[in-house]
Amino acid sequence: MDHYYLNDVEGLENPTSEVLAAWIWDRLLVDLPDLSAIQVRETCTSGCIYRGE
């Protein structure tokens, strides 16, 4: 995803931090079945933690 506009990535047409965290989760869970959370930070004071819920 380096040097990509997130809006141009399939599945990230609405790239909020929550959508991005779920998108990353879906791709990593196959290889990391013990994955417990994904944290995405927009700034030092805002972001989200996704736990597959």
How far apart are alpha carbons 27 and 39 in whole angstroms?
14
> How many other β-carbons are positioned within 10 Å of the β-carbon of residue 28?
12
E-state strands within the chain: 38-41, 47-50
Q: How many domains does the chain have?
A: 1
- Looking at the domain assignment, is residue 42 inside a domain? yes
| pTM for this model (two decimals) | 0.85
CATH code for the domain of 20: 3.30.479.10
- Looking at the domain assignment, is residue 1 inside a domain? no
Per-residue pLDDT tens digits for 3-53: 789 899 999 999 899 999 999 999 999 999 999 999 999 999 999 999 998
For residue 38, report the phi and psi dihedrals to the nearest 5 degrees. Answer: -125, 130
Please, are residues 53 and 36 in contact by the beta-carbon 8 Å criterion?
no
